[in-house]
Amino acid sequence: MASRLLLLVLAVFVLGTGLPRVIDRPVSAQSQPPAAGAPLPVTGRSMVTTKYGIVAASHPLAARAGVQILERGGHAVDAAIATNAVLNLMEPAMNGIGGDLFAIVYDAKADRLYGMNASGWSPSGLTPALLASKGQTRVGRDIYSVTVPGAVAGWEMMRARFGRQPMADLLAPAIHYAEEGFPITEVVAGQFASAAKLLSQHPNSKSTYLLDGDRVPTEGDLFRNPGLAASLRRIAEQGRDGFYRGQTAEAIVALSRELGGTMTMADLAEYEAEWVEPIESTYHGWTVSELPPNGSGIAALMMLNIMERYPMKAYGFHSPQAMHVMIEAKKLAYADMLRYVGEPQGARIPVATLLSGAHADARAKLIDPAKAACQVEPAHLDAVTNNPEGNDTIYLSVIDKDGNIVSLIQSVYSGFGTGLVPEGTGFALHNRGQLFTLEPNHVNTLAPRKRPVHTIIPAFLRKDDIRIGFGIMGGWNQSQAHAQFVSNIVDYGMTIQQALEAGRFTKGSFNGCDVAIEALVPETTREALAALGHEIRLVAPRSGTFGWGQAVMGRADGTHFGASEPRHDGAAIPEAPPVFGPGRR
């Protein structure tokens, strides 16, 4: 059986492959599907369609909070901040003000993208030598992995530039739920259960996250977090100073000192988020935008550049040929990303070279149509890094009635980050510093006030009058999931809801032939991939293995679309028209 499948795969692959020709592209996100390959996915839900705004998020109450802000006349940025703040409370394993944030903001009037990098730097006293003196050969999931949390600085910079509402209004829904409580949802209950041991290791964590100090919340339990409400009130009243100075900052530094860390008040007070220019590539006429390093979005662009050298549309959706190319392109793109991406201020990163057509041609030629590669070397341009894996993140997208879009991602890295909660603050500090390497002379080597490479990436896709803000969270899953989403839209003419729901693959490791494939991918395709040497781990549908995504889309005629995939508790919720007058919706 396996040999027959292998011959079939080779026959179809070799016919017309070579180094591939350019295939005609769809003219819109709703064009007709090609004849080859599996049928397009039958979705479990429809897109939300309206002439007003939409918030798509992984928790309906958080999305509704953002919609409330839109209905009060808020900008998409205002709604994104409000949604993110509620998610801080309702999905504490995934995100929080103890973590970092990245965003792409689309200004519809100017037809321009703005990138926001709110990832924090390491403490000024943290060095490889210090960790070596403590016997550590890598950054562990402890106080030394805590970099300055950047999320609040990102909120304030975005609001100052685009916002129409005061911070107090944006944080009001989150403060209400933190004080009054909310019922735990199904997926979030599982996140609490998997972190029971971590949350029991420090008194501050136990008092914050465990009910009665001894059990994790379960589905339907009412959960309150008065400490987080107090922290958010300080931000509402004082802006960024309510986090990076004063009581919250003092609590962070006190916990760091208690556990032997090096964080100082100056490390917090002097940190700033920054506006950055998105990096871009094209895929069959569509422009794909990601954020530059220290983010890893460049891997999605490199992967798409390699895929573009193959006739993906002709191969067909979920065909063995298309999936083999994508999996192998992932390995090649990630090998380059792992070697060359880190803190831009601390290294020269060859972004232009990595995104060039010549580089894509050279990397695409390395794909063997008859065999999976179990060891992939990076291109030799000079640099290196080494990272563990973490995948606990939220992604949300917003479009307002004017067509402005926010694509926002926020994370504490691993589930509940370090699990360490500064006293009285109600939030866990992230462990993003685990992405540093301690090996010398690497682009991502730990150094004082340096930012590590980042897994979390927002994205944007556009062509003609179509604008799509999208993202799919999940550690190193993200770039490869982005490339699959783009291919679903561009090659196979899917809607944004179909593109999110379609079965995916993911490879969290950087070596080997292992790959996780969702059971939504046809069995015949999985068997053919196995015959090529892919070591397949079959994963049941709708798990968190493949990340959770949202998307919004706007057209020039003012029609807006929203999508939220069913792998999580989320929803895309539309704004209501002001039929009862301002403030009476």
Residue 96 lies in a domain: yes
Q: What is the pLDDT of residues 412-442, one digit of tens each?
A: 999 999 999 999 999 999 999 999 989 888 8
pLDDT over threshold 70, residue 275: yes
The pair of structure tokens assigned to 214 is 């001894």
pLDDT, average across residues 133-150:
95
* Cα distance between residue 36 and residue 315, in whole Å: 6
| Per-residue pLDDT, 345 | 60
Which is more confidently placed, 348 or 278? Answer: 278
**Residues 27 and 534 sit within 8 Å (Cβ to Cβ):** no
| Per-residue pLDDT, 439 | 86
**Residues 355 and 281 sit within 8 Å (Cβ to Cβ):** yes
pLDDT, average across residues 304-320:
97
H or E stretch at 320: helix 320-340
pLDDT, average across residues 391-416:
92
Burial degree of 366 (CB within 10 A; 0-12, 13-18, 19+): middle
Residue 570 lies in a domain: yes
pLDDT, average across residues 41-54:
92
| Per-residue pLDDT, 342 | 78
In the chain, the number of structural domains is 1
Provide the residue count of the chain: 585
| Per-residue pLDDT, 387 | 42
Residue 384 lies in a domain: yes
Residue 386 lies in a domain: yes
At 517, the pLDDT band (50, 70, 90 cuts) reads very high
Q: What is the pLDDT of residues 349-381, one digit of tens each?
A: 889 999 999 999 999 999 999 999 999 888 754
The pair of structure tokens assigned to 317 is 């959706």
**Residues 470 and 459 sit within 8 Å (Cβ to Cβ):** yes
H or E stretch at 11: helix 2-14
- CA angle, corner 146, sides to 84 and 89, nearest 5? 25
- Whole-number Cα distances in Å, 536 to 35, 267, 512, 529: 26, 45, 11, 8
| Per-residue pLDDT, 513 | 95
**Residues 105 and 77 sit within 8 Å (Cβ to Cβ):** yes
Q: What is the mean pLDDT of the chain?
A: 90
* Cα distance between residue 258 and residue 295, in whole Å: 31
**Residues 268 and 248 sit within 8 Å (Cβ to Cβ):** no
Which is more confidently placed, 139 or 36? Answer: 139
| Per-residue pLDDT, 585 | 57
CA atoms within 13 A on the CB side of 154: 33
* Cα distance between residue 455 and residue 389, in whole Å: 9
Q: What is the pLDDT of residues 166-183, one digit of tens each?
A: 999 999 999 999 999 999
| Per-residue pLDDT, 344 | 62
pLDDT over threshold 60, residue 28: no
| Per-residue pLDDT, 33 | 41
Which is more confidently placed, 6 or 347? Answer: 347
| Per-residue pLDDT, 15 | 33
Range with lowest mean pLDDT among 18-27, 36-45, 84-93, 245-254: 18-27
The enclosing domain of 65 has a CATH number of 3.60.20.40
Residue 546 lies in a domain: yes
Which is more confidently placed, 509 or 194? Answer: 194
Torsion, CA 158, CA 92, CA 59, CA 72, rounded to 10: -40
Residue 108 lies in a domain: yes
| Per-residue pLDDT, 1 | 44
The residue range of the domain holding 7 is 1-14+29-123+273-426+450-576
- Whole-number Cα distances in Å, 474 to 109, 262, 298, 458, 577: 32, 29, 16, 12, 35
Residue 5 lies in a domain: yes
Sheet holding 48-50, edge to edge: 48-50, 560-564, 549-555, 466-472, 459-463, 286-290, 279-283
CA atoms within 13 A on the CB side of 166: 8
Residue 221 lies in a domain: no
pLDDT over threshold 50, residue 6: no
Range with lowest mean pLDDT among 76-85, 241-250, 502-511, 520-529: 502-511
| Per-residue pLDDT, 348 | 74
pLDDT over threshold 90, residue 17: no
* Cα distance between residue 363 and residue 200, in whole Å: 47
At 391, the pLDDT band (50, 70, 90 cuts) reads low
